[in-house]
Amino acid sequence: MDKILVSGMEFYGYHGVFIEEKKLGQRFSVDVELEVDLRPAGMTDDLNKTVNYAKVYQLVRSIMEGNPVNLVETLTERIAGTILVQFETVQAVTVKVVKPNPPIEGHYNSVAVEIRRERQS
């Protein structure tokens, strides 16, 4: 299956379990991989036959900058589910939400959740 990749989207959100996270907020990074047949768009040069990734960005932004949730898992599920609802040509989606600086002790680069969801027939 062909893929559209929208990676390294960065947002500031107020998600997390701790009060400080909801009060101060923090950066998040999101990668989205859309599995879709791109042949019709490639052969016709017609934007209506592909997925408009500007709209994907706006959708992800509305979730990431929207109502706070406790878990990165919740954000990831919302993004994947909304993409499948909003873009009928997407057959499957992989979403990765990265929390670069979660308030936990230790040395690490980041914490991330990645899921893949397929359209149910």
Catalytic positions, written as ranges = 99
From 100, 83, 86, 71, select the one nearest 33 (Cα to Cα).
83
Please, are residues 111 and 60 in contact by the beta-carbon 8 Å criterion?
no
Please, are residues 95 and 87 in contact by the beta-carbon 8 Å criterion?
no
Two structure tokens written together for 97: 């939400």
